[in-house]
Amino acid sequence: MSATIVRLPEPPRPARRRAPLEDRPVDGAKRVLLAAPRGYCAGVDRAVIAVEKALERYGSPVYVRKQIVHNIHVVTELEKKGAIFVDQVNEVPEGSHVVFSAHGVAPSVVQEASARQLHAIDATCPLVTKVHREAVRFARDDYEILLIGHDGHEEVEGTAGHAPDRVTIVNSPEEADTVQVKDPSKVVWLSQTTLSVDETMETVDRLRARFPELHNPPSDDICYATQNRQVAIKKVAREADLVIVVGSANSSNSVRLVEVAREYGAKAAYRVDYADEVRQEWLDGVRTVGVTSGASVPEVLVREVLDALSEAGYADVEEVRTAEEDLMFSLPKELRQDADGKRDERALGGRTRRSAR
């Protein structure tokens, strides 16, 4: 997807005070291994820009159903600009503008918004939409769909809502051992986009042991960004005494990065939203700190963590890159033209968010 790249200003750093970390001696040189790729993916970037552009074009308030992306800092900054986050479309005044989040929605939500005469802007990530289409197609072809994902996650609700009579959610490898299907010869698995690749494959193996004719999705449902961030942290974790993942507690791919780091050799791994959550005791005896961030995390939050680590003597930062990413998505169709009907150049792609260091 080619695009003109337009650099927009970085979001402001969080105005949070924190006590400086102490530079305590350890046995050997201190260093940071900074995983790459990390942080914003194309779907998140597009969704955040969609809310910013909607505010620019229609003025405040613009309503957003659910958190536009699962990051508390991003949501707080958009609230300051005039976005109002709601849980359901029935909380949005009739005739208002509402943005659907990157995690996607069920068709019933679109219908409800239309019934309330809302002006909907659909910021569903195109890679989530791809899974929706798969669900619709397999349901139409009479398959039972085993949807591997976390029950209650917005993305899973949205995907299941595209084939409500056909989908059974499989939360874990253990559930693969007990889930029931009506016809084992007509069953397919799909997945949430932000799962652990290894755990999902374990779930699929266990499903296939019970249902040998289990059909595969046409292509990976776990998205490129989730996979790339996991590959990078696996490499870092092998050499790290401690891994710090920047990301919010409700961010599935951030939480998976903590788990993957532990599985692949990090002696300890923790998730933080902000630099002030890094604890002095985590650094005791630590020579190598791995740092990464989830797909919904702006780079400013990683920089804050690096600054805090630098105070503690971890000023030597080496980037460990395992993939290049240049994917960008066009903005939602409702925002591709400016108010005068001309094509808006910013609609051609997202920001580039290369490492600031």
Residues that bind ligand SF4 (CB under 6 A): 41-44, 102, 125, 127-128, 193-194, 223, 225-226, 253, 295
Helix, strand, or coil (residue 198) = helix
119 is in an annotated binding site: no
8 A C-beta contact, residue 356 and residue 299: yes
| 112 classed as catalytic | no
Helix, strand, or coil (residue 128) = helix
- Smaller CB separation from ligand SF4, 171 or 227: 227
Compute CA distances 321 → 256, 294, 299, whole Å: 19, 15, 16
Q: Please, what is the minimum distance in Å from the beta carbon of residue 229 to ligand SF4?
A: 9
Residue 132: name the closest of 102, 176, 92 by CA. 102
H helices present in 67-177, as ranges: 72-81, 107-115, 126-140, 154-160, 173-176
Residue 62: name the closest of 88, 90, 86, 29 by CA. 86
Q: Please, what is the minimum distance in Å from the beta carbon of residue 295 to ligand SF4?
A: 4
**Residue 142, Cβ neighbours under 10 Å: how many?**
9
- Compute the distance between CA of residue 169 and CA of residue 189 in angstroms, rounded to an integer: 10
Q: Please, what is the minimum distance in Å from the beta carbon of residue 267 to ligand SF4?
A: 27
DSSP per residue over 9-55, as a string?
PPPPPP----PPPP----SS--EEEEEES-S--HHHHHHHHHHHHHH
Q: Please, what is the minimum distance in Å from the beta carbon of residue 225 to ligand SF4?
A: 4
193 is in an annotated binding site: yes
From the candidates 144, 154, 155, 299, which is the catalytic residue? 155
- Smaller CB separation from ligand SF4, 148 or 240: 148
Q: Please, what is the minimum distance in Å from the beta carbon of residue 351 to ligand SF4?
A: 14
223 is in an annotated binding site: yes
Measured from each CB, the residue nearest to ligand SF4 is: 43
- Smaller CB separation from ligand SF4, 194 or 288: 194
- Smaller CB separation from ligand SF4, 53 or 206: 53
103 is in an annotated binding site: yes
Residue 158: name the closest of 187, 194, 182 by CA. 194
- Compute the distance between CA of residue 172 and CA of residue 147 in angstroms, rounded to an integer: 11
253 is in an annotated binding site: yes
330 is in an annotated binding site: no
- Smaller CB separation from ligand SF4, 96 or 101: 101
132 is in an annotated binding site: no
**Residue 330, Cβ neighbours under 10 Å: how many?**
15
Strands 317-321 and 242-246: unpaired
User: Which residues are known binding-site members for dimethylallyl diphosphate?
Assistant: 70, 103, 153, 251-253, 296
Q: Mind telling me the catalytic residues?
A: 155
User: Which residues are known binding-site members?
Assistant: 41, 70, 103, 125, 153, 193, 223, 251-253, 296
User: Which residues are known binding-site members for isopentenyl diphosphate?
Assistant: 70, 103, 153, 251-253, 296
